Structure 1
Amino acid sequence: MFAAYAARIDPDQPLSALELGERPEPEARPGWTTVNVKAASLNRHDLWSLTGAALGPVPLSGVEVTEEQLPMILGSDAAGIDEDGNEVVLHNVIGQTGYGLGPDETPAMLSKQHYQGTFAERVRVPLWNVVPKPKELSFEEAACLPTAWLTAYQMLFTKAGVRPGQSVLVQGTGGGVATAAIVLAAAAGLRVFATSRDKAKLKRARELGAEGAFETGTRLPHQVDAVIDSVGAATWSHSLTSLKPGGTLVICGTTSGTNPTEAELHRIFFYELKVAGSTGGTKEELADLLNFCAATGVRPVIDSVLPLDRAREAFEKMAKGGMFGKLVLTV
């Protein structure tokens, strides 16, 4: 079957490690099902996988990648048709509940450790990982949800616990999680502010429902109940100062680095702020997100859709950072 995969790792020139071509069909396993992939979406960890940083059980954990893991089909998000003809979306953490694991296997995302990914004509997953796709969503739209959009959903409604009428700041608009957070928050009746260093992205944020969109680091018109941050060190201080007393900062990434200049612990304890982390979401949250999109008409923001045999173009665009929303591959 045709696939896009990491043939090796190259920390300096990751795109040189990406190859497109034939890979073996997924092996049959008891309690698993084969899904014919119709659409799959890219996430930044797919690019990091080519450097070796995200092929271990926990992305960027420093766990050494072994030769046995390569070649590895990339991709963790997909929608397709299962063996019974059902339209489905994949929850991308294999073994999250222990279901479907072998004796020497540990829970991990698709395209990590033992589990080949979704940038292929077919992928095999435990039956537990299959979630019905609402008929209202296209395969391309549904394929955007299991990582970036699910992370944003969990950050807003589980970790921050925000309610309609409250306010939220989304740092670094343009990326998958930040874009999702703006759309979901606006649809849920929240007052949304967004930041970016790119004027075009700020304009798009307003079009998606942000009440205000500002240059990164700008003082907001008022403090907010929650901050959604995937940027890390560069926005840490601004995120904390933007919170109301008792507010919540939720972090899902550190694209600007992991070590802020100052921890500002005094601000955290004095204003009784909460700091929470998020690395995705549960199968139940994915089902809720799918139903939310189907019921409200909310749809993922898609930057571009390319066929699988043009996957290299999508990886190049992600590496340059010029996209707004999700990059989708169709099979």
Structure 2
Amino acid sequence: MKSIVITGHGGNEVVSLIQGEKPLRQPGHALVRMQVATLNRVDLYMRNSGAGITHKLPQVMGIDGAGIVEEVDASETDLTVGQRVTLYPAVMCGRCEFCQRGEGVLCNKIQYLGEHRDGTMAQWVSVPVQNALAIPDGLSFTDAAALCGNHLTAWRMLFTKARVQPGESVLIFGIGGGVSLAALQLAKLVGLTTFVTSRSADKLSRAAALGADHCIDSSRQDVAKTVLALTQGRGVDVVIENIGGDTWPQAMKSLVRGGRLVTCGATAGDQPPADLRRIFIRQLQIMGSTLGDLSEFRQLIAFVQKTGLRPVIDSTYPMEQIHTALDRLEAGEQFGKVVLSLQD
């Protein structure tokens, strides 16, 4: 089979398309013939350094993907051969205190596909059966694969962490990225007033076409001042942030008293000013979030079935063009998900 692996750390020179053996399925696992995988910022992180993430080289890249069940245990009752499935990328121990209380995403032995273990950019993948979820009719492999990393992350940020309510307002930084676009789509479907930022006029125009209520050009506008002007000095109820760095102070200043900030990334730096006085004087709530639980993924899939939501897809590449796909993601040129087609 073909797979895309990192053989070291650096740039695209450490990313290779190789021929290898199909993985051997373990008992309790499903062997999935993969159709598509999508790219995420963590793919760049693993290529560049993978610092702080325990992994062995060479390692198959890829966090999320979708395919067809090719083999399962004869006793398996939830999955059948030939079934279309999307993969949940977190493998939990099932035994720690967090797993036992139903918060598997906090598992202290959690392993992510494409980070701690081989990932989804391969023509076959073997995963525990609970990590393969049926794709609803009408949802393509590409749409189903794109849901997991970004929409599941945005789902947890909005509904589990921030607990948004219809009529509230949300500021979403960096529209065009996968999580930010997912947050915009979800927010509009539940009746939130949305503010989005970007340094690209084209991305802001496309966000407006998706229903964004207020679009802020962060290359020439002060985000916090603009938000306060648009809200008559009040600020927004919720901020969805995944950039860090110089964006952090703008995020804090944009919040209403008692507002909630949820962060899931730090692509521009992970050591911004804390601004502790603002936090305690204005009684702000700061929350971290990563991915989501299996139960949340099932809720998201049901929501997609009900509402007809479809992820925004930027572009699709064959496996042979993985370097081009990574370059597009790294340059921040994409608007939506960059997809890899895995079958010849």
Please say whether Structure 1 and Structure 2 have the same fold, judged by a TM-score greater than 0.5. yes
Tell me the distance in 2 between the aligned counterparts of 1:3 and 1:94. 20
Residue 215 (structure 1) shift: 2.0
Counterpart mapping for 1:12-27 below 5 A? 14-27=11-24
Q: When the two structures are superposed, what TM-score results if normalisation uses the length of structure 2?
A: 0.87
Correspondence for 1:307 among 309, 318, 321: 318
Residue 96 (structure 1) shift: 5.3
Quick check: 1:70 aligned with 2:72?
no
Correspondence for 2:170 among 133, 151, 168: 168
Distance change in 2, residues 1:328/1:96 (3 Å): farther
Contact preservation (8 Å) 2:53, 2:115? no
Give a deviation string over 1:142-201, Cα, whole Å, max 9, x none: 110111111011101111100111110001111111111111111111110001111111
Residue 52 (structure 1) shift: 2.6
Q: Which amino acid in 2 is paired with 1:108?
A: Q
Quick check: 1:283 aligned with 2:278?
no
Q: Which residue of the partner structure matches residue 7 of structure 2?
A: 7
Q: Which residue of the partner structure matches residue 138 of structure 2?
A: 136
Distance change in 2, residues 1:70/1:290 (3 Å): same
Matched position secondary structure for 1:50: helix
Tell me the distance in 2 between the aligned counterparts of 1:9 and 1:140. 28
Q: Which residue of the partner structure matches residue 212 of structure 1?
A: 214
Matched position secondary structure for 1:182: helix
Q: Which amino acid in 1 is paired with 2:6?
A: A
Q: When the two structures are superposed, what TM-score results if normalisation uses the length of structure 1?
A: 0.90
Gaps of 5+ in 1: 54-59, 100-104
Q: Which residue of the partner structure matches residue 231 of structure 1?
A: 243
Q: Which residue of the partner structure matches residue 244 of structure 1?
A: 256
Identity of aligned residues (%): 40
Matched position secondary structure for 1:119: coil
Q: Which amino acid in 2 is paired with 1:107?
A: I
Contact preservation (8 Å) 2:2, 2:19? yes
Tell me the distance in 1 between the aligned counterparts of 2:290 and 2:122. 24
Q: Which residue of the partner structure matches residue 110 of structure 1?
A: 113
Give a deviation string over 1:181-224, Cα, whole Å, max 9, x none: 11111111111000111111111111111100002232211111
Q: Which residue of the partner structure matches residue 87 of structure 1?
A: 84
Matched position secondary structure for 2:246: helix
Tell me the distance in 2 between the aligned counterparts of 1:28 and 1:297. 34
Residue 112 (structure 1) shift: 2.5
Q: Which amino acid in 1 is paired with 2:309?
A: V
Matched position secondary structure for 2:191: coil
Q: Which residue of the partner structure matches residue 94 of structure 2?
A: 97
Give a deviation string over 1:223-260, Cα, whole Å, max 9, x none: 11100001112211111111111110000001110122
Q: Which residue of the partner structure matches residue 198 of structure 1?
A: 200
Residue 325 (structure 1) shift: 0.7
Tell me the distance in 1 between the aligned counterparts of 2:83 and 2:53. 37
Residue 16 (structure 1) shift: 0.8
Tell me the distance in 1 between the aligned counterparts of 2:44 and 2:23. 23
Length, aligned pairs only: 311
Distance change in 2, residues 1:96/1:311 (3 Å): farther
Q: Which residue of the partner structure matches residue 186 of structure 2?
A: 184
Residue 140 (structure 1) shift: 0.5
Matched position secondary structure for 2:314: strand
Quick check: 1:323 aligned with 2:334?
yes
